[in-house]
Amino acid sequence: MQLEPAPRRYLLALLMTYAVLWAMSAIAPFDRHDWLLENLLVVAVVGALLVGYRHYQPSRAAATLIFAYLCLHQLGAHYTYAKVPYDDWWQALTGQTLSEVTGWQRNHYDRLVHLCYGLLLAYPMREIMLRLGLRPGLWSYVLPVEVTLSTSAIYELIEWTGAELLGGGLGRTYLGTQNDPWDAQKDMALATLGALAAMLWLALLHAWQPFRSPCRSSADPAPGGLHR
């Protein structure tokens, strides 16, 4: 995959689309205080991307993946992660709830978003590392997985600290364990699994590329003059 920066028009389109979705999510959220807390992450991510734009211009793929993750997060912020009504949506489409089909006993939207944290953001993490000088190779696939695990652990600690400070109903809503004592460990495991899947897929894709272009010599540059 190429690391060419995405056109500014494309980035602006994503930013404007997300701004509209963000404004819609601010209309009558299930819990206004939880919505504000959840949006601290949005402020941190979007702020970091805007401040650091001179040093890191994401590729089209990376920008799209970041956008997709933020949209998933915003949906969870609007309803709270424990109450996203995917069962109602599935029932409207199929006539039965997803929980009836799968046998689930809890709302699993938070599990999906933690999985997508690794699945969608491992590639942008790798891209940033390559822009900072990391050479393509084994460690360029391993480090994003490790960063995903470590940042997931840090987030769980922040979430726990915040819930302790807030206390009461808001603390429980923000923490969102749904009475699962192993919720934090499962969330970290899913994020790591998602990052591992993304990096394995990317490594296989890169390994397959030479077989798709057998006529190109090893001295030829990668498409666009950029290396993997």
171-183 pLDDT, tens digit per residue, is 666 666 677 778 8
Question: 122: exposed, middle or buried (C-beta count within 10 Å: 0-12, 13-18, 19+)?
Answer: buried
pLDDT digits over 181-193, tens only? 788 899 999 999 9
- Please give the pLDDT value at position 177: 62
Q: Which residue has the higher pLDDT, 208 or 84?
A: 84
Compute the average pLDDT of residues 120-142: 93
Residues 118, 187: contact at Cβ < 8 Å? no
80-117 residue pLDDT tens: 998 999 999 999 999 888 888 888 888 899 999 999 99
Q: How many residues does the chain have?
A: 228
Q: What is the structure's pLDDT at 171?
A: 62
- Which whole number is the average pLDDT over 24-46? 91
Question: Is residue 111 helix, strand or coil?
Answer: helix
Q: How far is CA 10 from CA 6, 60, 63, 201, 203, in A?
A: 7, 8, 9, 25, 27
pTM equals: 0.85
pLDDT band at 212 (very low <50, low <70, confident <90, very high): low
